Structure 1
Amino acid sequence: MPQQSFHFHKKVTIKKEVNLAYLLSLPVDYEESENKSYPLVLFLHGRGERGDNLNLVKAHGPAKLAEKKEFPFILISPQCPIEIPRYSTWPVYTDELIALVDDIIERYRVDEKRVYVTGLSMGGYGTWDIAKKYPEKFAAAAPICGGGSTKDIERLKNIPVWAFHGAKDDVVLIEESKEMVEALRAVGGNVKFTIYPNANHDSWTETYNNPEFYTWLLSQKKE
């Protein structure tokens, strides 16, 4: 049975001190395969899982599935703090997230050509944002029921993106994803868009339970 570890990570960089609590899940054969490197998946949770209780992070998505499912990749699931409730969202912590990813790469056997980001709702916004700001870091991005600014969308032109949204979503309207997808397509981006015709806001359960999602994600690799 796979197990997750609880971590409170503190990293000092030139510009700032970074404090992020996170869940870490390693492949079951990690300790046995000393010469093997593994893909790394960064999972960004939704708005309801912010705070200082790491158990909240396991409410949905890969962080939840990792308790029962054996993933063939290193999974890191940080928790967004609530400092100023209205503005405490993933885009505020983009630099901290990258610092955390870099630290995991330094301390674990990560295949740096296979680093991915995915997230749902607020984490979907965060996925678009972090992949756009740091396209050199990720081999693919999978935002779910998110959105964001189309400014500088051309930075994502060479990053495979698979976006997901429920057609009946009344929390984050589907137009949010459509705008991002259309903007990326307009600059020649490599983007797929799956719409669940009967889904409301929860378009993540079907996505993260679909083996084809992981096959696609893990097949992407930096040149």
Structure 2
Amino acid sequence: MKKILFVLLGLMLNGIAWGQTSLKPFEQIEVQITPWHHIPALLHLPADMKPGKKYPLLIAFHGRSIAGNDVTKIFHQGVARQMHEGKNIDAVNKVDGKKYEFIVFAPLATSWSLGPEHLNVALDDILKRYPIDPSRIYVTGYSAGGWSVGMAITDPVTAPRIAAAVCMSPATIDAKNMSSFSITAKNNVHTWYFGGTEEPVFLGNCKLFADSTDKYKKGLTRITVGDHKHCCWETYYDPAYREGGINIYEWLLQFKK
């Protein structure tokens, strides 16, 4: 009987340990998005944070199929998947030659993705709790998460907070925001768009968003067009992927408020 109890206890402890490590290198937190509502999120903090030091923040938005209440689904795609698989996104800024470690925040939307009204509240929340450099806040997302990016960089409250963005295969943003890329230009939000030749709507959005920024200010956008359908974002999120000798993480770090 004692032997059985020890075996069961061992299995329980192993299960607890697995549960604690299965989110690595992230932890699960709750973040406020309205005065009355919190949602789960994954958060990654650098391993050896220095007292008094501030770190760049990378906000990673998921696609529609990930939304719900299971944070482990965030690992299916995007930045979180790369890190969960053991890839290191820490990067050297080509401008100052310094290496930066990111704080990564990946919120889980109940449905679809997060709009700027919720992102702003979440940002206020995590800025109070973690050593984030407010001049280096970056956003990225794919599909519905690309919608979140497009909405954020055209929002009059959110855009001034964002240093740069990477937007992959974005869903169509709201009409009001579609006519507000002057806000993106005014706030110098550099954005790198990615789309595929076999996803005409999403690639069309990339081009439309970029053109809508460029008409107000040249030099803030770039576009990568791949030979693929509405998929394949892991190619671009992999820190080993480079264009012109630079990956998306190094590219983001070139820009600050």
TM-score by length of structure 1 reads 0.86
**Paired position in structure 1 for 2:95:** none
Residue from 136, 139, 142 that aligns with 2:160: 136
1:49 aligns with 2:49: no
Q: Is the 8 A contact 2:32 2:125 kept in 1?
A: no
1:156 aligns with 2:174: no
Residue from 126, 133, 137 that aligns with 2:148: 126
**Residue type of the partner of 1:153?**
F
**Paired position in structure 2 for 1:182:** 211
Structure 2: distance between partners of 1:11 and 1:182: 31
Residue from 37, 41, 51 that aligns with 1:34: 51
Residue from 156, 173, 176 that aligns with 2:202: 173
Give the number of aligned pairs: 208
**Paired position in structure 1 for 2:248:** 213
> Structure 1 segments of 4 or more deviating over 3 A?
none
**Aligned-pair RMSD on alpha carbons?**
1.9
Greater per-residue helix proportion: 2
User: How far is 1:114 from its partner?
Assistant: 0.3
Gaps of 5+ in 2: 1-20, 90-100
User: How far is 1:187 from its partner?
Assistant: 1.2
**Residue type of the partner of 2:67?**
R
Identity among equivalent positions (%) equals 25
Q: Is the 8 A contact 1:28 1:70 kept in 2?
A: no
Gaps of 5+ in 1: 83-87
Rg comparison, structure with higher value: 2
Q: Is the 8 A contact 1:164 1:203 kept in 2?
A: no
User: How far is 1:69 from its partner?
Assistant: 2.6
Q: Is the 8 A contact 2:33 2:119 kept in 1?
A: no
Structure 2: distance between partners of 1:219 and 1:28: 23
- The Cα offsets for residues 180-215 of structure 1, whole Å up to 9 and x where unpaired, read as 11111111141111111x121124112111251111
Structure 1: distance between partners of 2:27 and 2:142: 22
Q: Is the 8 A contact 2:57 2:137 kept in 1?
A: yes
Describe the shift of the 1:89–1:10 C-alpha distance in structure 2 as closer, same or farther (beyond 3 A): closer
